[in-house]
């Protein structure tokens, strides 16, 4: 058995897993943000309640450097800069694995979702921001520094998009660069584009709802955003060569949006396909826990 956790800035969710697809929830608690002993205590209490000896696998927001094990996670200060797997393992007396949540999403889809039976899976995240993860032959590819799959960052966003074309500013990104895909993709990007195009401040959920109801302004926003996203994602497809690209996050739950993105990406890639490549997530419930469990069973019991 594996005890698995999905940890974000607001909460810690846990489950016991007898396989990646057989999860039993063990609860949810708030994430201690500034107190490492409290963070350890929260993990200990949930893990001990499930099994006092089982190894632990964690899906977490943040980047884990595979060479050092050091995690960078700005929204949980008490673990930022720590060798989290080693530190937790020493405190809890168990084997602990820690992986980025986007990587765990990609692994979950590869093993139990849309990528099941496929050799190469690129899991794209279109949630609050833009992220991703690469899985090849059932293993996460983290890359140097742990940054593989982070297609949302890099100054490659187009400065003109849509038909007819409209000028798009090079927005400043939270990573410190200007013109990242993250600035115009997913929920925040949709809201930013809608304001730029129409002068309207609306949440992404309202924009999507209006689009599906036939609103012309929302449709223009979606058209421009699809155009902006399709080029960078097509480049990822040409470089990585995935068999399938499952999309998670809030927009991964909007099949009409993903269908448009799929068509736009397939028009731009070298490989010619007449079947969908970019598809909605099949694991909208608990992909972090499923990914952590998959990581545990592939790495701990190997």
Domains of the chain, residue spans: 2-103+285-300, 118-280
Structure tokens at 167: 């000028």
- pLDDT: which is higher, 120 or 284: 120
Number of other residues whose CB lies within 10 A of the CB of residue 30: 11
**pLDDT for the residue numbered 36:** 97
pLDDT > 60? residue 301? no
Please count the residues of the chain: 302
In this prediction, residues 164-168 reach a mean pLDDT of 98
**pLDDT for the residue numbered 28:** 95
Q: What is the pTM of this model?
A: 0.94
**pLDDT for the residue numbered 20:** 86
pLDDT > 80? residue 8? yes
Q: Which of 36-45, 143-152, 160-169, 283-292 has the lowest mean pLDDT?
A: 283-292
**pLDDT for the residue numbered 33:** 96
**CATH number for the domain formed by residue range(s) 118-280:** 3.30.420.40
Summarize pLDDT for 52-67 with one digit per residue, the tens: 999 999 999 889 999 9
> Phi then psi for 11, rounded to 5 degrees?
-155, 160
How does the average pLDDT of the chain come out, rounded?
95
* Res. 169 pLDDT band, cuts 50 70 90: very high
**What is the C-alpha R_g of the chain?**
20
pLDDT > 90? residue 148? yes
Summarize pLDDT for 187-245 with one digit per residue, the tens: 999 999 999 999 999 999 999 999 999 999 999 999 999 999 999 999 999 999 999 99
Q: Which residues contact 148 (CB under 8 A, 6 or more apart)?
A: 133, 134, 141, 142
Q: Is the separation of the CB atoms in 295 and 57 below 8 Å?
A: yes
* CA–CA distance, 63 with 75 (Å, rounded to integer): 12
Q: Which long-range contacts (C-beta less than 8 Å, at least 24 apart) are formed by 7-11?
A: 7/31, 7/58, 7/59, 7/60, 7/61, 7/76, 8/60, 8/61, 8/75, 8/101, 9/33, 9/61, 9/75, 9/76
Q: Which helix (H) or strand (E) holds 97?
A: strand 96-100
CATH number for 2-103+285-300: choose from 1.10.260.30, 3.30.420.40, 3.40.309.10, 3.40.50.300: 3.30.420.40
According to DSSP, the residues that pair with 14 across neighbouring strands are: 5, 27
Whether 2-103+285-300 shares its CATH topology with 118-280 is answered yes
**pLDDT for the residue numbered 298:** 86
User: Omega into 164 within 30° of 0, i.e. cis?
Assistant: yes
Summarize pLDDT for 261-298 with one digit per residue, the tens: 999 999 999 999 999 999 999 987 789 999 999 999 98
Summarize pLDDT for 21-51 with one digit per residue, the tens: 899 999 999 999 999 999 999 999 999 999 9
What is the CA 184 to chain-centroid distance, rounded? 16
- pLDDT: which is higher, 74 or 257: 257
* CA–CA distance, 174 with 31 (Å, rounded to integer): 23
pLDDT > 80? residue 88? yes
**pLDDT for the residue numbered 21:** 84
């Amino acid at each position: 058995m594996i005890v698995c956790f999905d940890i974000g800035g607001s909460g810690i969710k846990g489950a016991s897993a007898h396989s990646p697809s057989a999860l039993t929830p063990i609860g949810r608690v708030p994430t201690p943000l500034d107190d490492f002993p409290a963070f350890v205590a929260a993990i200990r209490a949930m893990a001990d309640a499930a099994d006092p000896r089982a190894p632990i696998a964690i899906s977490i927001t943040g980047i884990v450097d595979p060479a050092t094990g050091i995690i960078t996670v700005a929204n949980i200060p008490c673990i930022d800069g720590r060798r989290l797997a080693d530190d937790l393992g020493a405190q809890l007396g168990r084997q602990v694995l820690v992986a980025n949540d986007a990587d765990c999403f990609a692994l979950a889809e590869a093993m139990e979702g849309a990528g099941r039976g496929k050799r190469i899976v690129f899991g794209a995240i279109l949630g609050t921001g833009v992220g991703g993860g690469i899985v090849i032959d059932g293993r996460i590819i983290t890359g140097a520094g742990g940054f593989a799959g982070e297609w949302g960052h890099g100054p490659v966003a187009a400065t003109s998009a849509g038909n007819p074309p409209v000028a798009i500013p090079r927005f400043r990104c939270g990573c410190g660069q200007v013109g990242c895909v993250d600035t115009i993709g997913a929920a925040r990007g949709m809201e930013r584009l809608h304001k730029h195009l129409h002068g309207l401040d609306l949440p992404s959920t309202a924009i999507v709802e209006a689009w599906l109801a036939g609103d012309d302004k929302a449709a223009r926003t979606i058209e421009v955003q699809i155009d902006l996203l399709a080029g960078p994602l097509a480049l990822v497809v040409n470089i990585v060569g995935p068999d399938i690209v499952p999309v998670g996050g809030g927009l991964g739950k909007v099949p009409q949006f993903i269908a448009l993105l799929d068509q736009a990406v397939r028009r731009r890639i070298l490989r010619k396909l007449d079947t969908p490549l970019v598809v909605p997530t099949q694991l909208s419930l608990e992909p972090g826990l499923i990914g952590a469990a998959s990581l545990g069973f592939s790495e701990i019991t190997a």
